[in-house]
Amino acid sequence: MAIEEQDPTTINDCLNKSLSLLEDIKGFEIKCFLSNDEDGFDIFLEIHAGAGGTESQDWAEMLRRMYLKWFDKKRFKYEMISEHKGEEAGIKSCTLKIMGENLYGLMKKESGVHRLVRISPFDSGARRHTSFASVWIYPCVDDDIDIVIEEKDLRIDTYRSSGAGGQHVNTTDSAVRITHLPTKIVVQCQNERSQHKNKETCFKMLKARLYKHEIQKREDKSKKELDSKTDIGWGYQIRSYVLQPYRLVKDLRYNIEDTNPDSVLNGNIDKFIEGSIFRTTK
């Protein structure tokens, strides 16, 4: 009717409502695919710089910024659990806790090695460098899930926090690191002023890691995951972000591409998040 009456305002309004409806349909479709028990959990996000010093540490921080921007757009809440800064720039590693609807289901396929190719801002010769960083997603399990942790299987270390927090944090051994000896899983927390609270957070993270470990065993993927963790470099990457000599972000598992890496690094990663869900569930 709007076309027959040549009413551009109504036509544009219909188009906008149609686009909004399509987005709603896509959202409901994604929720239908996220039907596993663990898909609704909040997550712990770990990022580790690969070999390469400042280059990889800067890339690790760029990845964290990308995810934080995506979390902001989705209005997910997050908090820093631990952070180890690089000597010159970037971060060596960090752990965040993120809270939101269906987070583990949305993010679990982001686990793996991410590769960056660019002209290095740290190279006076303006040469092209390849950097690697790993991303690992773990479900933040609730207290109803029975994960047995034996005290004899743990090594608990305390150390002085290296992050912000004022005089108290810098002069007491408030940071906590827990190693689960049978699985070699290590968790650490330094964001709280109290050693007791940091220890409590560590136990929650360890429970999440052990739960994910069991999921991996059930899916017969634990060997592949552990192998990829031993070498954050060539042959293990899941996604490449190329800024030079051409511009392309490509997920190597699902053949998903985006020719605007600036947009992707600014948090517009829905194409990759949604693409991984549809390709692994259909």
Domains defined for the chain, CATH in brackets:
38-281 (3.30.70.1660)
Least confident window among 31-35, 41-45, 225-229, 269-273: 225-229
Spell out a b/e string for 26-36, using b for 16 or more CB atoms within 10 Å of the CB, else e: eeeebeebbee
Burial of residue 181 (CB within 10 Å: 0-12, 13-18, 19+) is: exposed
Instruction: Please enumerate in sequence order all residues whose Cβ is within 8 A of that of 34, keeping only pairs 6 or more positions apart, or say none.
Output: 40, 102, 105, 106, 277
Choice between 163 and 6, residue whose per-residue pLDDT is larger: 6
Mapped onto helix, strand or coil, the DSSP state of residue 113 is strand
Which pairs from 144-148 meet CB under 8 Å and 24+ separation? Answer: 145/207, 145/211, 147/207, 147/210, 147/211
pLDDT digits (tens, 9 = 90+) for 133-149: 999 999 988 666 677 88
Look at the pTM and tell me if it is higher than 0.85: no
First-last CA distance in the chain: 38
**pLDDT of the residue at 232:** 66
Q: How many CB atoms are located within 10 Å of the residue 240 CB?
A: 18
Q: Which amino acid, residue 178?
A: I
